[in-house]
Amino acid sequence: MFELRKLSADDGIDIYEMLQRIPGEENGLMNKANGLTYDEYKKWLTAKQKASEQQGIVDGWKVPSTTFWLYSDGVPVGFGSIRHFLTEALRKAGGHIGYGIAPGFRNKGYGKELLRLLLHEAKKIGIEKALVTVHSDNPASQAVAMANGGVITERTDDRVFIWIDTEKSVGIQE
């Protein structure tokens, strides 16, 4: 059974341990909690929670972003973040949604389910069409986005740009 939980400053050791297993940078996904001490992680959680509550652009480039944890049968297996809106720079590299699955849980359909649930949350935020940018050499993530109703609108040497209608994607099941 899958459950998507919103990040909280009260999140504990189970999330911390999962984040330590996911590389700090992999295929364009940044996991800034990787390598932090537990105390640093708790401060990071507080900052991430505040980032989801901000309004507008902060420091000239930061947009509101909400992070969620994917649980499977009570065990955290991945995470994803939704940017509430895009700047021009985020349209070129970043997109609305980023996600990652912990090693050991990959290639089992968790990514597809995580993105489906994140698209549902994006719809609640008011995002009608979500942009997912995927590294060109990451066919697994491209397949996840396509399985969730994605449409490739552009390819560059580095990235594939996939737009997903959040209204249509919510009902897509495996």
What domains sit in the chain, N to C, each tagged with a CATH number?
A: 2-128 (3.40.630.30)
User: Which of helix, strand or coil describes residue 49?
Assistant: helix
Q: What's the burial of 10, exposed, middle or buried (CB within 10 Å: 0-12/13-18/19+)? A: exposed
Answer whether 109's CB lies under 8 Å from 147's CB: no
> Average pLDDT in the 67-75 region?
97
What per-residue confidence (pLDDT) applies to 170?
A: 56
Q: What is the pTM of this model?
A: 0.92
Q: Per-residue pLDDT for 173 more than 50?
A: no
Q: Per-residue pLDDT for 172 more than 80?
A: no
- For 143-152, the pLDDT digits (tens) are 999 999 999 9
**Which residues neighbour 70 within 8 Å (Cβ) at sequence distance 6 or greater?**
2, 3, 4, 76, 77, 78, 79, 80, 101, 110, 113, 114, 117
164/120 Cα distance (integer angstroms): 11
**For the chain, percent of residues with pLDDT exceeding 70:** 97
Answer whether 111's CB lies under 8 Å from 99's CB: yes
What per-residue confidence (pLDDT) applies to 61?
A: 79
Residue 159 β-bridge partners: 135
